[in-house]
Structure 1
């Protein structure tokens, strides 16, 4: 049987200016993020696979979704299966991202770390720009209304149960800051799927308790998403954020909705979806999400908004947003009760995000100053973010020609990583470190050779 050449795929590869080998390399990067090391059919491909698909062979397994996502990132727009010339397929994981799906149904499907079959289905999803399109105002209004009728059966739920969920969330949040998102997320998911799910299906003392429990569960789902994002499990992170937004919408807690949307914008920006990141960040500071927030949370929402503005070349607006975030944080004081979810955000975090914004604006020298301020002021309880900040600082230093200075900074990154940090974002700083050092390997700089060898040894142990 003679296969018909896939002209749609060939045209997209030409538009992306990718050779077959480059397309395969981009595919493999997305697959690694999505599967987190799980070996599946087509979890890693070579250029011959791409040639066969262009020649008319239909890819199997997760390959269509992975290739669509790789091309979407490259071309900065959503590429569908139809556009790429592949047969349409559905994925249970992608269905969970539909805003119409009840979050309680989604919570019931979180056992990906327990049930191998469910994990296989969830892994079919990929990080998708299409899932970043937020629902319209009618959806938010409908979600915030009390249910038409309360359940007549189920566990009696009180404010003590709400406090239990909050305490667990804070404990795991602190561990995430120390050890990274690769440590403990499945335990969070197990609690969400069982205990939190049962609470949400229970009988509430009053509407205030109902809203409080939905808000507490939303924060726990958000934490699971953030941990997955930090560990480079991007498809899982997007699913968790989506669920968290739905639960927060049910609670009617506008600042919490803004907090979760801010995280979604952060992830989208890190993955190169600049336009979508800006749209979500703008939604995070819209109306009561910003106006009803406490000063510390306003600063957090605002500085991520500034980053997305800078990434989209809105330089003056980004500068104004930075100044507003600084003012907001300066207004935070002990007399104002801040939500526990903002415990990590202080001078060091603001300096980190400010530095990233200045870097994206092309002001590398001021970015270095802010990265150093972040390193200097961050406490020992935030080791994971400390390693990420040092990684960014080293990258900015070497971009300015400070090779040996960057090596000294990156040595501190490896010191932290080797001491037990489980974070895909921090690990990526080590990968980036080796890439940025490669032009200097043959120049006989002792610090470069020693650091590169140590980085290679570290990656060999964790990969």
Structure 2
């Protein structure tokens, strides 16, 4: 014991494994600190490391950078938890810190998310507006440079490894579209935190393979964030979006970064943060994130930008953004070299987001028209989750217009489709149904009572609250 603190045996064991003295550990930390612009740590020496081993908690960014130094030495990612230097709260903070090393943040988040008890604690956290702050303009170039010069010491990574990760991402994405974010996210996280994380510390065949692997990892981290968002685990989603953005930045993949920022803007719109949503959406369509994207992806970025403008009250700009998105999707063709991640975005998806935008600017007739177009053109067996949400939104607008019979018929279709879907958005749709039906239920309108009972049953079976 030293001053009431317990010796940090985990850190001591890692330093021994690295075959470092405390002075050598300090020197390695300083090198990493200077690379990351943490000049304030240039004076760290042997005595500091000795104190940390004895149980004193490192201050500031020291713990994160020490983990990065150990990761480089050992050829694997060392998290704060591995080194006995982090808590769940610190993990949350470092993931959202744009200057924290990418792989350190990924390891820390994965270690929390794969532990059932700690995952529950993480899921209980609320969406943080501060955590949605964007990095500086200069950060993107710095990250691309860091990626090019990242030290690696693991096994060889080639084109076949990239192809395998991309295939797994495509499979998980299709499952999410059919069954919702509440299915199989732990499997996605396990794969990301084990197999893919090892690839990221490997020795790459060439720089293009490195960039493609980091892009594939970025898409997988984004997908985990999207699934968490869809399942109403909003703080978890934010942290995965942050890690995904870092991976995309190290890959120098501007369109992938725009894709993630678009998801972050979507989340902010849904949670009622219009100013934050617009700032992020503006960034998603800025410069190469939009210019270098395929026409289909441009349309996706643009229609979410329109939603953010509508939520912010910028009606005319929202309509202009919708028109541009429509043109971009119309320009998409079979010969485009478009990424597989936009496989879901078609006329039905554009119509869904357009309807949401029109609804939010008060054009209910236009919203009904576009929701119906979305329902009519979607492949419901493939994109089941979004199809159910679209029907739920359409029913809500119909009831708002005073057409209860049509609204109930639409909601009945939505509930038929929701069977087997685990999604926070479908659960919210069921809650919205019950809230809208409440006055009719109290008047003993039979159709309202029957539909309300079905919505309550869906919430009961999927973990939602069904209290009237």
TM range (shorter): 0.7 to 0.9
Measured in 1, the distance between the counterparts of 2:374 and 2:327 equals 17
Q: CA offsets, 1:352-408, max 9 Å, x none? A: 000000000100011001000000100020000000101100111000001111100
In structure 1, what is the equivalent of residue 401 of structure 2?
400
1:339-378 matches, within 5 Å, as: 339-378=339-378
The 5-angstrom pairing of residues 231-380 of structure 1 reads 231-379=231-379, 380=381
Answer whether contact 2:147 2:250 (CA < 8 A) is retained: no
CA 445–265 in structure 1, closer or farther in 2 if over 3 Å, else same: same
**1:20-419 correspondence runs (5 A):** 91-109=90-108, 110-116=110-116, 118-119=118-119, 122-123=122-123, 125-147=125-147, 149=149, 151=151, 153-379=153-379, 380-418=381-419
Q: Determine which structure has more spread, i.e. the larger CA radius of gyration.
A: 2
Structure 2 residue aligned with 1:59: none
The answer to whether the Cα contact below 8 Å between 1:92 and 1:124 also exists between their aligned partners in 2 is no
Q: Do the aligned residues in 2 keep the contact of 1:390 with 1:410 (CA within 8 Å)?
A: yes
Structure-1 separation of matches of 2:431 and 2:125: 25
The residue matched to 2:96 in structure 1 has which SS? coil
Whole-Å separation in 2 of the counterparts to 1:311 and 1:257: 22
Measure the CA separation in 1 of the matches of 2:302 and 2:249: 21
Report the secondary structure of 2:216's partner residue.
helix
Dislocated runs of 4+, deviation >6 Å:
none
Cα separation, 1, equivalents of 2:344 and 2:256: 15
Once residues 281 and 342 of structure 1 are traced to their aligned partners in structure 2, the CA distance between those partners, rounded to angstroms, is 17
State the distance in 2 between where 1:288 and 1:97 align.
23
Structure 1: distance between partners of 2:226 and 2:152 = 35
Give deviations 1:161-220, integer Å, cap 9, x for gaps.
Answer: 111111000000001000001001110100111111110011111111111111010000
| TM-score, length of structure 1 as denominator length | 0.78
Report the CA distance shift for 1:150/1:270 in structure 2 as closer, same or farther (over 3 A). closer
The offset of 1:96, in angstroms, is 1.6
Contact 1:93 1:125 in 2 (8 A): no
Count of aligned positions: 374
Structure 1 unaligned blocks of 5 or more: 1-88
How far apart, in 2, do the equivalents of 1:402 and 1:366 lie? 15
**Distance in 2 separating the partners of 1:440 and 1:408:** 15
- TM-score computed with the length of structure 2 as normaliser: 0.77
> Residues of 2 paired with 1:118 and 1:365: CA distance?
46
Whether the 8 Å CA contact 2:348–2:373 is kept in 1: the answer is: yes
| Structural RMSD (CA) | 1.6
Question: How many Å separate the matches in 1 of 2:355 and 2:300?
Answer: 14
Confirm or deny: 8 A CA contact 2:94 2:105 kept in the other structure. no
